[in-house]
Amino acid sequence: MKILDKENWNRKEHFEFFSQCNEPFFGITVEVDVTKAYQQCKANNDSFFLYYHFLSTQAVNEVPEFKYRIKEDNVVVFDQVHTTTTLLREDKTFMFSFLPYTQSFEEFVTAADEEKERAQNSTGLGITENTSRLDTIHYSAIPWINFKGLTHARNFDWVDSNPKISFGKLDKSKEQITMPVAIFVHHGLMDAYHVSLYIDKFQELLHS
């Protein structure tokens, strides 16, 4: 982690302007083509849920602005960011999980299996020091709804700067299989252009 030199940052005024907002986050919802990735997972008996989380985290780590966070009076930059996502229990409650960044899908699955076991053997939200880290992306999955828009429950009494990415229900009604993705980010740290870089990279990985 390093501290960004705000005085020489080309977005210094943007950061100061949007940081004054009561709601500094903005959201963009898109559809991505998951046909190839979904079919690959089915053929290999892999979890598509874990695979798209894995690819998304590879994508965000390719965009520097997704690794910017606000810490006290500073903007800090992490070398890499990790995954926190919701895991559903049999009783339909969910737990926050932590999956460390890795370039190996197999290692990602192993970490997820450990968190799934923790979820099934516990109750409550499962908040830990790891799930509360600054160097994470806050993911959630809503596989029951093919949403066109989304909002988040937020506490405005404390500074939040972690990006939030949600995945929705697959649409298999057409030749291509698509999935809605909602991205919420702090406008002081990035603009729509930077979100587009993530979307393009995520789509590229889904096609690979």
Mean pLDDT score, 35-54: 98
Domain boundaries, the chain: 2-207
Confidence of residue 68 (pLDDT cuts 50, 70, 90): very high
pLDDT in tens, 127-184: 999 999 999 999 999 999 999 999 999 888 888 999 999 999 999 999 999 999 999 9
pLDDT digits (tens, 9 = 90+) for 85-136: 999 999 999 999 999 999 999 999 999 999 999 999 999 999 999 999 999 9
- pTM value is 0.96
What fold characterizes domain 2-207? Chloramphenicol Acetyltransferase (3.30.559)
pLDDT value, residue 65? 99
- Report the pLDDT value the prediction gives residue 156, as an integer from 0 to 100: 84
Six-digit token string for 161: 């700067």
